[in-house]
Amino acid sequence: MNYQKPKGTRDILPSNSAVWQFMEEKAREVATKYSYQQIRTPTFEDSALFLRSVGDSSDIVNKEMYQFKDRGDRSLALRPEGTAGVVRAIVENGLLNEALPLKVFYFANCFRYENPQAGRYREFEQFGAECFGIDAPCADVELIALAKNYLENLGIKNSKLLINSIGCKKCRAEFNRAMREFANKHKTELCADCLRRAELNPMRMLDCKNEDCQKVLKNAPKLKDYLCSECREHFDEVCRLLNALKINYQITDNLVRGLDYYTKTVFEFENTVGDKTLTVCGGGRYDDLVQEIGGKDCPALGFSCGLDRLEGLVDKNLLPNQPKILVINAGNVTLEQVLPIAEKLRVLGKNIEINLANRSFNAQLKYANKLGIDEVYIIGDEELKNKSVTIKNMTTGEQITKNFDF
Ligand code: ATP
Ligand code: MG
């Protein structure tokens, strides 16, 4: 029996892991600069948490959730996104009773039963950041700046920032009424999903991936015409502050997000590769979510980046170059004698490989060449006796002998 990975999953092999480590390191570095601290939450949660937060009108909960009963008959789900678990954790642990803002970042493997294609998997990795307790537009702009900085630190310079405001509950009610009316008029031109969304959550129609629907929806009511004065002012201020930071953006009237909990500002960063445009980062405000899942009334906002989509866009020239050294045993020197020397070199901070495969001297040199190793440290009988090491530069062939107290 030959086993294969489950449909829609990926193996990140050693040849690719340097990119992943780089994406994670940069995420930690940039998030820390913005004063975010890491949070780690479970891979699975009560299904009800996602139903309540992501929403039962979203595709994510409706069609894509990996839901199961455990042996104790609990209804659980593999997380389809990171925010719900984070909000649950900070409410459960009382973190909102401390000084605010609370700023956290996370890495999360997420699961969605989607149709696998390029940039779309059933298990994928997100880097996300969430900020709690601030309703001022400055927080929106700082968060957008964090995401932008992260992408630039990966060497991704040509991302396009799209923003919109989807308003609060108050303005959404008016808009939803207008959307229902619109859907009613265009019943025959819209897909079954859109008609279902018209009932459950009309705004979600705007996110339909069906091209025919998108043509019809171009003429749908615009959220911006329904914003209450508070939401309108908030959005204007976000735009003004983005201008002040010289962050380019494009106001996109029909931009909504795939999750139900968003309010006011929503944004996406997208990148085009060839003829394909992919959203690499998405986020926005969710001022009602904390309260909806049992916490206090607390404004909040966040984003998440899809690392599987970023992987191919990272500038590989930026990857740190960590030289690896092969310690070669020559003459009568045994591997056993090399072992403690290698340990000492590692303590000194060097990345060391030794002759575990027990190759001959020449075979070790060949192996070093094949691996593209920059330097080999040769320990022969003379070196062992004199407490020295002969260092050979594999590119120039140059060789020097140095004392080394092993
Ligand atoms: P899309 O419209 O592309 O389906 P979404 O609105 O469902 O995206 P979010 O739920 O906001 O996306 O997730 C945030 C980010 O996670 C996305 O911008 C994307 O980079 C990544 N992402 C989402 N779904 C997948 C997936 N199935 N495979 C890989 N990455 C994903
Ligand atoms: Mg989606």
Query: Which CATH number is 266's domain given?
Result: 3.30.930.10
What is the pLDDT, as a whole number, of residue 323? 86
Q: Which ligand is nearest to the CA of 259?
A: 1
pLDDT in tens, 239-262: 999 999 999 999 999 999 877 789
Q: Strand 102-111 relative to strand 123-132: parallel, antiparallel, unpaired?
A: antiparallel
Residues 28 and 53 in one domain: yes
Query: Which residues are near ligand 2, the ion (C-beta closer than 5 Å)?
Result: 258
Q: Does 36 lie in the same domain as 132?
A: yes
Best CA proximity match to 268, nearest among 345, 162, 363, 183: 162
Name the residue with the closest Cα to ligand 1, atom 25.
120
Instruction: Look at phi and psi of residue 402 and say left if phi exceeds 0, alpha if psi is from -120 to 50, else beta.
Output: beta
CA of 279 to the centre of ligand 1 (A): 7
Work out the average pLDDT over 219-227: 94
Has residue 1 been placed in a domain? no
Atom of ligand 1 nearest to the CA of 306: 20
Listed residue (168, 166, 150) closest to 34, CA to CA: 150
Domain boundary among 317, 335, 361: 317
CB of 159 within 8 A of CB of 151? Answer: yes
23 and 126 in a single domain? The answer is yes
> Is 5 among the domain residues?
no
pLDDT band at 278 (very low <50, low <70, confident <90, very high): very high
Does 291 share its domain with 397? no
Atom of ligand 1 nearest to the CA of 268: 18
HSE-CB for 201 with a 13 A CA cutoff = 20
Q: pLDDT at position 201, please?
A: 87
Q: Tell me if 9 is assigned to some domain.
A: no
Q: Which residues pair with 124 in a beta bridge?
A: 110
**What is the mean pLDDT of the segment spanning 121-125?**
98
The domain boundary residue, chosen from 259, 284, 317? 317
* 105 phi/psi in degrees, rounded to 5: -125, 160
Q: Does one domain contain both 351 and 312?
A: no
Ligand closest in space to the Cα of 208 = 1
Nearest atom (ligand 1) to Cα of 112: 27
For the cut 90, the answer to whether the pLDDT of residue 275 exceeds it is no
Q: Report the alpha-carbon distance of residue 311 to residue 104 in Å, rounded.
A: 23
**Could you tell me what percent of the chain has a pLDDT over 90?**
86
Strand order in the sheet with 75-78: 44-46, 75-78, 67-69
Q: How far is the CA of 126 from the centre of ligand 1 (A)?
A: 9
Residue of minimum CA distance from atom 22 in ligand 1: 306
Indicate the Cα dihedral angle 15, 19, 25, 27, nearest 10°.
Answer: -150
pLDDT 10s digits, 287-314: 999 999 999 999 999 999 999 999 999 9
Return the pLDDT at 175: 92
What pLDDT is recorded for position 322?
A: 81
Q: Using CA positions, which residue lies closest to atom 28 of ligand 1?
A: 120
pLDDT, one tens digit per residue, over 342-358 is 999 999 999 999 999 99
Average confidence (pLDDT) over 372-377: 93
Ligand 1 atom closest to 119 (CA): 29
Give domain status of residue 50, yes or no.
Answer: yes
Q: Ligand 1 pocket check: which of 304, 307, 310, 314 to mutate, most ligand atoms within 8 Å of Cβ?
A: 304
Say if residue 82 is in the same domain as residue 133: yes
Select the more confidently predicted residue: 207 or 25. 25
Q: Is residue 123 part of a domain?
A: yes
Collapsing DSSP to helix, strand or coil, 286 comes out as: coil
**Dist. CA 77 → ligand 1 center (Å):** 18
Higher pLDDT, 313 or 59: 313
Give the domain-ending residue among 286, 317, 348: 317
56 occurs within a structural domain: yes
- Same domain for 125 and 100, yes or no, is yes
Same domain membership, residue 264 and residue 385: no
Average pLDDT over all residues of the chain:
95
Whether residue 75 is found in the same domain as residue 21: yes
The mean pLDDT value for 310-319 works out to 96
Whether 197 is covered by a domain: the verdict is no
Residue 95 and residue 106: Cα distance in Å, rounded? 16
* Cβ–Cβ < 8 Å for 267, 283: yes
- Nearest atom in ligand 1 to the alpha carbon of residue 279 is 18
Tell me 356's DSSP state. T
pLDDT level of residue 29 (50, 70, 90 thresholds): very high
Q: Which domain holds residue 360?
A: 321-403
The CATH number assigned to the domain holding 386 equals 3.40.50.800
**Within 6 Å (CB) of ligand 1, which residues are found?**
81, 112, 114, 119-121, 124, 126, 257-259, 279-282, 304, 306, 308-309
Mutate to test the pocket of ligand 1, among 124, 259, 313 (most ligand atoms within 8 A of CB): 124
Whether 181 has a pLDDT exceeding 90, the answer reads yes
Number of domains, the chain: 2
Same domain for 374 and 286: no
User: Is the per-residue pLDDT at 57 higher than 80?
Assistant: no
Q: Whose CA is nearest to atom 11 of ligand 1?
A: 282
How confident is the model over 64-81, as a mean pLDDT? 97
Question: 313 in a domain, yes or no?
Answer: yes
Q: Are residues 312 and 332 in the same domain?
A: no
The 10s digit of each residue's pLDDT in 171-180 is 988 999 999 9
Q: How high is the pLDDT of residue 221?
A: 94
- Regarding whether 298 and 377 lie in a shared domain, the answer is no
